[in-house]
Amino acid sequence: MRRFAVLGAALAAFAMSGFGAVAQAPEKTRITLGVGGKALLYYLPLTIAEQKGFFKDQGLDVTIQDFAGGSRSLQALIGGSVDVVTGAYEHTIRMQAKGQDVRAVIELGRFPGIAVAVKKGVKWDGPADFKGMKIGVTAPGSSTNMLMNFIMAKSGLSPSDAAYIGIGSAQSALAAIQKGEIQAISHLEPVLSFLERTGDVRIVYDTRTEEGTRALFGGSNPAAVLYLKADFAEKYPRTTQALVNAFYKTLVWLKTATPADIAATVPEQYLLGDKDLYMLAAKNSQPSYSQTGLIPREGMQSTFDMLVKFDPEMKDAQVDLAKTFDDRFAKRAAELVK
């Protein structure tokens, strides 16, 4: 309780300044941020914050380490090689279940934005046909893998009934499906729009929209967040607020940005040689980004229920979902960022 009192006092003093992170310099200005597949549109808020200079506006010098998948960026946080992570919200629940106080501080995606597709010519009449397949995911243990585990379990199968192949992001993912190395894929934009356009796959589950997300999960299901160890926020509350401010400003920007604005902002290599198709993927992704930066309680519960469905370690887990998301920074950012 004492450490939360200390953090609360620090945040209160910070709020009373009236100027926020711009007036009060962050305690720690050099930050190492981990991500698993930065070029994916799942993580577009990170790229926008970087490219638009929103981190620098908050007095931060952010170094981004890009890993093959979200599970690896989580490992980097636990191991101490990165300070914070943009990654899937469900990782906070899994860490809380293991007694590690990892918390999200702002929601970046309100829908997973993941779709599951089957390669053209592969028989698929329903989820039972996933049995025995090689299924491509960004990395084993990542959110794309967990979504497949949930679909399998929901259909009465075991996650072990299929083989999951880590195929990374973007170009390596496209190559894996086109070369026939996998029969199905659980992945993100812009990979999905590229594969749909070429006719290499057909989508069978789609969480890029609210309708598709609710059809699969029965409710909302938060996606990408900024998460960190609770003691980081305790030790560096102004730094944490500065990070959240930068991401909140990004969410505000994304509300009115056009696909052309997005394509003009991201690095050219993100376009994969086809700007028009990238803009289509960006348009498909825009509804998935958070509108408020806050995770609704039903979304927390939906994610927990998903994990319990397929993960034996979560069956009897006692998790206080309130501890998976510290909403104070996002609420303060809404007051500071205009």
Q: What is the 3-state secondary structure (H, E, C) of the chain?
A: CHHHHHHHHHHHHHHHCCCHHHCCCCCCCEEEEEEECCCCHHHHHHHHHHHCCHHHHCCCEEEEEEECCHHHHHHHHHHCCCCEEEEECHHHHHHHHCCCCEEEEEECECCCCCEEEEECCCCCCCHHHHCCCEEEECCCCCHHHHHHHHHHHHCCCCHHHCEEEECCCCHHHHHHHHCCCCCEEEECCCHHHHHHHHCCEEEEEECCCHHHHHHHHCCCCCCEEEEEEHHHHHHCHHHHHHHHHHHHHHHHHHHHCCHHHHHHHCCHHHHCCCHHHHHHHHHHHHHHECCCCCCCHHHHHHHHHHHHHHCHHHCCCCCCHHHHECCHHHHHHHHHCC
What is the per-residue pLDDT for 1? 47
What is the per-residue pLDDT for 2? 47
What is the per-residue pLDDT for 21? 39
Average pLDDT taken over every residue of the chain: 91
What is the per-residue pLDDT for 24? 80
What is the per-residue pLDDT for 18? 35
Mean pLDDT confidence for 264-269: 97
Question: Whole-model pTM?
Answer: 0.87
Domains of the chain: 2-111+222-336 (3.40.190.10), 115-217 (3.40.190.10)
Does residue 27 have a pLDDT over 50?
yes
Mean pLDDT confidence for 37-55: 96
What is the per-residue pLDDT across 140-169, written as a single tens digit (0 to 9) for each?
988 899 999 999 999 999 989 999 999 987
Does residue 41 have a pLDDT over 90?
yes
Mean pLDDT confidence for 178-186: 95
What is the per-residue pLDDT across 213-230, written as a single tens digit (0 to 9) for each?
999 998 889 999 999 999
Mean pLDDT confidence for 26-49: 96
